[in-house]
Homo-oligomer: A and B are copies of this chain.
């Protein structure tokens, strides 16, 4: 069992993304090192200099001292290093599976994340910092998500997961913002039968449940 440090916070969507990935691996324990955004710890010059050039969270510090940021990159790194051969991350030598996986991972980044994270900001994270919700933008993000879900339904009516019939990081990456979207408007992920089935499946994984109860 290896123990890695993750500079982050339990409520952070991107911290949860990495934590969920680690839970899918047999031999990785994650110790969260809190970076208190409320007190501006992420803007400390020493943090920016040593951990994250953009002053955000999370950052991984591996046992050998390797540091990586960007939650999806950290997740890929953890699987590549500690989950060799795992179907979570197809190797590029299996060109067909690799192409399908990268396609699915990119769909999450281009089609799902922008409206989902913007909706979460408008309704939850922004108001948490005292900003007023812009209802016109909320409607725009929900409309976009509903339109994108039609593409997801087309994909998921032909295969069980986004990259094929096996659960991969491309599905997992949806969990943190997907859960917020689902809380804010349960109709989005439940209006299409195959999307609903997929969402119910991936959101009931033990790894994700654990990420919602991170203990410092």
Contacts and interface: CB of A to CB of B under 8 A. Distances in A.
**Interface bin, chain A:** 35 or more
B105 A73 contact: yes
Contact of A99 (B71, B77, B148, B154): B77
A54 interface: yes
A102 interface: yes
B114 A102 contact: no
B70 A107 contact: yes
- Copy tally for this chain in the complex stands at 2
Contacts of A103: 68-70, 73
A76 interface: yes
A24 interface: no
A17 to B, nearest CB: 11
15 contacts: A48-B154, A55-B151, A68-B99, A68-B100, A68-B102, A69-B103, A72-B102, A73-B103, A73-B106, A76-B99, A77-B95, A77-B98, A80-B92, A80-B95, A80-B99
User: Across chains A and B, which 7 residue pairs bring their CB atoms closest together, nearest first?
Assistant: A70-B106, A73-B102, A53-B154, A54-B151, A80-B92, A77-B99, A73-B103
Given A72-B106, A80-B95, A92-B92, 5 more contacts: A53-B152, A69-B103, A70-B102, A70-B103, A80-B98
